[in-house]
């Protein structure tokens, strides 16, 4: 049985790296909060009740696709589609197609941004690979009107950023929950990381100012491979109840 994602793909390298995954979702947490369809994420209350837990459940789904063979990946995609249909039935309306594209586009964009921040910019070939993999994910989730290639996606991504973001009461509620779950100093660090990762439109709406010193520190962290350093960093940066989730992410990436 063939793999859903080729073993040589940059997507496997990114989504098998727990450091990059945490950066991806730190950045996406900012944009999620601003999305005009964020009310869909509030409908089941899973996101506002436990945004960090929801983050790890999303990671598990993503890794079940990226590191699976075609059959198992397709089953996971069908399971996600079924969850979406269930929520739509309960609410009595359809999730907008543009909102599905927004979420998919976040995973693509923040994968690239996280890799650039911690390691290096992706090559043109890696950019095409990244988009091609997630385009297959989107097709498997029946997301319509996906651009044919990376260049067309980049242009559409800019259109979505200009059209689909706004600061709202839901934004404020979600950020209040981030602060409650993380505590004051971890929350302050989250804002700094988001300022380094987020696109200009997101930074403007959230009034985030990048800190060059933190960018240098993260780059140096990416170069280090000292025994125990990452475990110590995770214990410092995440509440203790989520450390087992991090270990599961790491195990999936090396399986």
Please report the pLDDT score of residue 19 as a whole number. Answer: 85
pLDDT score of 223 more than 70: no
Whether pLDDT at 212 is above 90: no
Position 40 scores a pLDDT of 72
Range of the domain at 164: 10-254
User: pLDDT tens digit string along 64-121?
Assistant: 999 999 999 999 999 999 999 998 898 898 989 999 999 999 999 999 999 998 889 9
Q: Give pLDDT, residue 171.
A: 93
Which of 49-53, 56-60, 124-128, 182-186 ranks highest by mean pLDDT?
A: 124-128
Does residue 91 lie within any of the structural domains? yes
Q: What is the pLDDT of residue 139?
A: 97
Domain presence at residue 5: no
Q: Is 1 a domain residue?
A: no
Of residues 206 and 25, more confidently modeled? 206
Residue 4, domain member (yes or no): no
Q: Is residue 3 included in any domain, yes or no? A: no
Q: Is 86 exposed, middle or buried (0-12, 13-18, 19+ CB in 10 A)?
A: exposed
Whether 242 is covered by a domain: the verdict is yes
pLDDT at residue 218 is higher than 80: no
pLDDT at residue 222 tops 80: no
Number of domains in the chain: 1
pLDDT classification of 164: cutoffs 50, 70, 90: very high
Q: What is the 3-state secondary structure (H, E, C) of the chain?
A: CCECCCCCCHHHHHHCCHHHHHHHHHHHHHHHHHECCHHHHHHCCHHHHCHHHHHHHHHHHHHHHHCCEHHHHHHHHHHHHHHHHHHHHHHCCCCCHHHHHHHHHHHHHHHHHHHHHHCCCCCHHHHHHHHHHHHHHHHHCCCCCCCCCHHHHHHHHHHHHHHCECCCHHHHHHHHHHHHHHCHHHHHHHHHHHHHHCCHHHHHHHCCCCCHHHHHHHHHHHHCCCCCHHHHHHHHHCCHHHHHHHHHHHHHHHC
Give the confidence band of 255 by pLDDT, cuts at 50, 70, 90. Answer: low
pTM: 0.89
Exposed, middle or buried by CB within 10 Å (0-12, 13-18, 19+), for 132? middle
* Domain annotation covers residue 147: yes
| Cβ atoms of 222 and 115 closer than 8 Å | no
Asked if residue 48 is part of any domain, the answer here is yes
């Amino acid at each position: 049985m063939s793999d859903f994602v080729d073993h040589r793909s940059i997507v496997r390298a990114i989504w098998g790296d727990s450091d990059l995954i945490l950066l991806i979702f730190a950045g996406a947490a900012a944009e999620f909060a601003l999305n005009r369809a964020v009310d869909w994420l509030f409908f089941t209350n899973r996101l506002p009740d436990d945004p960090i837990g929801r983050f790890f459940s999303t990671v598990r789904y993503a890794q079940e696709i990226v590191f699976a063979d075609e059959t198992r990946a397709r089953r996971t995609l069908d399971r996600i589609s079924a969850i979406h249909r269930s929520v739509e039935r309960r609410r009595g309306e359809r999730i907008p197609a543009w909102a599905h594209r927004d979420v998919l586009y976040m995973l693509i964009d923040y994968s690239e941004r996280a890799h650039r921040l911690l390691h290096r910019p992706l090559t043109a070939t890696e950019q095409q690979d990244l988009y091609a993999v997630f385009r297959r994910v989107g097709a498997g989730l029946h997301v319509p009107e996906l651009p044919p290639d990376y260049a067309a996606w980049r242009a559409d991504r800019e259109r979505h950023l200009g059209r689909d973001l706004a600061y709202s009461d839901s934004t404020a509620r979600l950020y209040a929950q981030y602060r409650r779950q993380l505590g004051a100093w971890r929350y302050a660090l989250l804002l700094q990381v988001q300022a380094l990762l987020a696109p200009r439109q997101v930074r403007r709406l959230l009034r985030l100012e990048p800190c060059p010193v933190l960018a240098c520190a993260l780059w140096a962290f990416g170069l280090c491979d000292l025994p125990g350093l990452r475990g110590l960093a995770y214990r410092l940066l995440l509440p203790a109840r989520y450390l087992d989730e991090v270990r599961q992410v790491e195990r999936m990436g090396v399986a």
